[in-house]
Structure 1
Amino acid sequence: MVYKRFSVGVAIRVGLILANVVCLAFIFARTDLFFSQLVLLFILSFQIYNLVHFVTQTTRDLARFLQAVRHQDYSVSFADDAGTHPAFQELHQSFQGAINAYKEVEAQKESQYHYFKLIVEHVSAGIISLNSKHEIVLINKAAEQLLDVQNIVSWKQLQSKRNSFTQAVDHWLRGGSSLAEVVIEGEKRQFSVGVNPVILLGEPYRVVTFSDIKNEIEGKEIEAWHKLIRILTHEIMNSVTPLSSLTETMLMIVEQEDGNQKPLAEITEENLEDIRLALKTIQKRSRGMLHFLNDYRQLTRIPTPQLAPVNIGNLLASVSRLMQGEITKYKASIYVLPVPPDLTIQADAKLLEQVLINLLTNSLQALEDVVNPQIELNAITQDSKVIVAVADNGKGIEADKLDKIFIPFYSTKPAGSGIGLPVSKQIMHLHGGNIKVQSQTGVGTKVELRFPIQTVTFR
C-alpha cells in the first residue's frame, strides 16, 4: 500500500514536470510571452524540488529512525508529524511501532536491572564482580559489611585493606572455591570464597561470592561437643551407677548402723560370697569402662596419613586374603570384581586396610543367618573420583538408624563398639575423601569410599 501511494505520487509529479516542459517548449522563443516563461520556469523549479523532496523523504525518515535507535533516543516520535503525506503515514506508523517496542524492551531491561540489583543488595552473601581490568563492577552491601570496607571502586584498594581475602580470590583465576582466613580489626574471620569466571558480551568477568562461616563452624563444633558429652555421660553413668550400688551393698554387709565395722563373728559365709560376687561385678564393669576409654582414645588418635602410591587392585586382593579366615567362619563368599591394573591413588595403605577391615567386619556381622551370604568388592572411576565399594546381601540398616551410624559409640549391633565407622570416616576425611552408605532392610548394604583422583592431605 505504501509502495503504491509512493509510485502514484512520483508519477503525478513527473507528469506535471513533463507538462510544464511541453508548455515551455511551445512559448520558448516568443518575446511577448517572456513573463509567462519566467512563471513556468519558477513552477518547474518548484516541481523539481518537490519531486526530490518527496523521493528523499523515506531516506530522511529512515535515517532519523536509525539515529534514534542508535542513540537510544526513544523520545523521537513519528506519530505527531503534521502534514505528513498519506504515502508515508503507514511507514511512519511502522517506525512509531518499532520505537514503542524498543521503549518497552528498554523499560523491561531497566526494571529487571533494578530488580536484580535489589536482590543482590539484600542477599546475606557478599558478591563482587570484576572485569578484565581488575575494576570492581559491582559490590553489594553484604560484601562491604563482611569485609568492613566502604566506597571501594578498585581491586587495588581492596588489596591494600584485605590482602588475605584478595589473595584467596586471585588464586582461583580460572574459577574454584576455598576457605580464607581474614583478619578484620584484630578479629579472625573464616570466609568460604567461590570464584566463577563468566563471559558477557565478549568480555571476561569474575563473580566472587563469599560468606562468613565462622559462626556456623563454631555452632557445629558446639553441637558436636554436646553430642559427645551426652554419649560419654550416658556410658559413664551406665557404668558408675551399678558400681555405686554394689559398693553401698558391700558397705551394708561389713558396717553396723552406727557406721562402725562389724565384728568378724557377725560376717557369715553368705556375706563373703555376696562380697565376692559384687567385687567380680565391679571388676567386670571396670574392665568395660577401660575398654570404652581405650576405644575413645583410638577415636581421637588417628595418625596423619603417610601418602604413597596405592594400587587399588592389590589393596582389595590383600584385604580379602587377610579376612579369609573370618569369611570362612561366617560361611560367606567374597568376590573381588576386576579392577583396572593401573588404578592407583595417593593414600596411606595401612589406614585404608583398617577402613576396609572395619567395613568387611560389619558386612560379615550383617550376613549372620542370611541364606547364601555374599560380599562384593569393586573399584571404578566416576566423575573425577575413585570409588571403592563394599557391598553385601545382609540384613541392611533401618532407615531411621542410617543417619546415626557415624556418631561415635552408636551401634546397630548389641555388642558393637560404635567406633568402626566414625574412625573410617575420619581416615577418609584425612585423605580428602568421604563415605557414602546405601542400605535397604532385607536387601543389603553398599558402602562407597570416594577418593578424589588427585588425593591431597589436609594439614
Structure 2
Amino acid sequence: MQNIQTELQKQELEAWQNLTRVLRHEIINSITPISSLTSTLREILDHELVKKENDYEMKGDVADDLREGLSTIESRSKGLIKFIDAYREYTSLPQPKIKTVLLKELIEKTAQFMRQQLKNTSLEFSSSYSSEYLTIQADAEMIEQVLINLIKNAIESLLQNEHGKIELIGTYDGQNVLIQVIDNGPGIIPEAINRIFVPFFTTKKSGSGIGLALSRQIMQMHDGSLTVESEPNVKTVFTLRF
C-alpha cells in the first residue's frame, strides 16, 4: 500500500512539474518578444522622431516599422491572454452533477449534434450502442463536452483524408461501460502519445493544448478514465471508461 501511495505521489509531482514547465515556456515565449520589441520601438522613437515647432515628424518607413512592431506586441499579448484564460478554465471546472444517464440518449444526442457539423464535409460518421438499457452515473453535459471535443479533434485530423471515417460507439466489456471515438486518420506518433493529456501540450498549430487535458480531468471527476491507443494511418481509439 505504501509503495502504491509513493508511486501516486511521484506521478502527481511529475504532472505538476510538466505543467509548470509548459507554463514557464508559454509565458516566456510571449513576454520575451514583447520586451524586445518595446526596447526596439523606444530606440526608433529616440532616433527617428523629430520635433518641429509644436509637432513631431518621422519618415514613412519608420512609421511602418512602428506599426508592425505594435501589431506583433498586440498579437503576442492576445495570445498570452488566451493562454491564461485556458489555464483558468482548466483549474476551475465545476463539480459534475451526477445523475443516471441512459447511454443510448447520450450517444444519439451527441451524434445528432455532430452530424450538423459534418454536413459540408465528405467524412463518414456512424454511431451505435450495444444495448438500449445501458446507463452511466454522470453529468451528461460534461460527458457530451468530452465527446464533442474528441470528435472535433478527429474531424480536424481527417480533413485531408478522402476516405475519412469516424465512429462513436457505446458498449459494455463485462466490467465497465465504454464510450469510444474511433477514426482512421494519421494518428498520434509514439513520441507524443504519452504527452497529449499534459495541459497545454499540443501538436496543432492553432491548438491551445487544453481540450484533452480537460477531457481527462472531467473523466477523473467521474471516477472514470480516458485513454488512447493509436496506430498511425490506421486507427486511433479514445476510450471513456465508466
TM-score by length of 2: 0.91
Matched, 1:384 2:187: no
CA displacement 1:254-313 (0-9 Å, x = unmatched): 1159xxx85355522322222122112211111111111111111111111101111111
8 Å CA contact 1:253, 1:267 repeated in 2 = no
Counterpart secondary structure, 2:136: strand
Which one of the candidate residues 124, 148, 151 is aligned to 1:357? 148
Residue 35 of structure 2 is aligned with which of 244, 248, 273? 244
Q: Which of residues 192, 196, 214 is equivalent to 1:423? A: 214
What is the match of residue 230 of structure 1?
21
For structure 2, which runs of at least 5 residues remain unmatched after alignment? none
Letter in 1 for 2:131: P
User: In 1, are the aligned partners of 2:129 and 2:171 still within 8 Å (CA)?
Assistant: no
State whether residues 182 and 236 of structure 2, in contact with CA within 8 Å, keep that contact through their aligned partners in structure 1. yes
SS of 1:329's partner is coil
**CA drift at 1:383:** 3.1
| 2:83 pairs with 1:286 | no
For 1:447, what is the secondary structure of its paired residue? Answer: strand
- State the superposition RMSD in angstroms: 1.9
How many residues were matched structurally?
239
Q: How does 1:1-400 map to 2 (within 5 A)?
A: 210-211=1-2, 215-256=6-47, 263=51, 265=56, 267-400=58-191
User: What's 2:226 paired with?
Assistant: 435
**Quick check: 1:312–1:339 contact (8 Å CA) kept in 2?**
no
Contact 1:305 1:431 in 2 (8 A): yes
5 Å matches for 1:394-413?
Answer: 394-413=185-204
Q: Could you tell me whether the CA contact under 8 Å between 1:330 and 1:364 is conserved in 2?
A: no
How far 1:403 sits from its partner (Å)?
0.9
| Partner Cα separation in structure 2 for residue 232 and residue 332 of structure 1 | 36
Question: Aligned with 1:387: secondary structure?
Answer: strand
User: Does the CA contact (< 8 Å) of 2:130 and 2:172 recur in 1?
Assistant: no
Looking at structure 1, the residues matched to 73 and 164 of structure 2 have their Cα atoms a distance apart, in angstroms, of 40
Question: What amino acid does structure 1 have at the position aligned with 2:112?
Answer: R
Cα distance between partner residues in 2 of 1:386 and 1:242: 49
Q: C-alpha separation between the residues in 1 aligned to 2:217 and 2:132?
A: 28
| 329 and 292 in structure 1: CA distance in 2 versus 1, 3 angstrom threshold | farther
Aligned equivalents of 2:79 and 2:158: distance in 1? Answer: 27
Residue-by-residue CA offset, 1:30-89 (whole Å, 9 max, x unaligned): xxxxxxxxxxxxxxxxxxxxxxxxxxxxxxxxxxxxxxxxxxxxxxxxxxxxxxxxxxxx
CA distance 1:408–1:329, change in 2 (3 Å): farther
CA distance in 2, matches of 1:393, 1:220: 31
**SS of alignment partner, residue 255 of structure 1:** helix
Scaled by the length of structure 1, the TM-score of the pair is 0.50
**Contact 2:219-2:226 at 8 Å conserved across structures:** yes
Residues in 1 aligned to 2:77 and 2:217: alpha-carbon distance in whole angstroms = 28
Q: Give 1:224 shift.
A: 2.4
Q: Is the 8 A contact 2:200 2:209 kept in 1?
A: yes
Residues in 1 aligned to 2:81 and 2:120: alpha-carbon distance in whole angstroms: 29
CA distance in 1, matches of 2:8, 2:189: 30
Q: Calculate percent identity across the aligned residue pairs.
A: 38
Q: Distance in 2 between matches of 1:223 and 1:214?
A: 14
Letter in 2 for 1:394: G
Segments of 5+ residues of structure 1 without an aligned counterpart are: 1-209, 452-459
Structure 2 distance, partners of 1:437, 1:215, is 25
Alpha-carbon distance in 1 for matches of 2:181, 2:6: 37
Contact 2:179 2:239 in 1 (8 A): yes
Q: Give 1:214 deviation, angstroms.
A: 5.5
Structure number with the bigger relative contact order (C-alpha 8 A, sep ≥ 6) is: 2
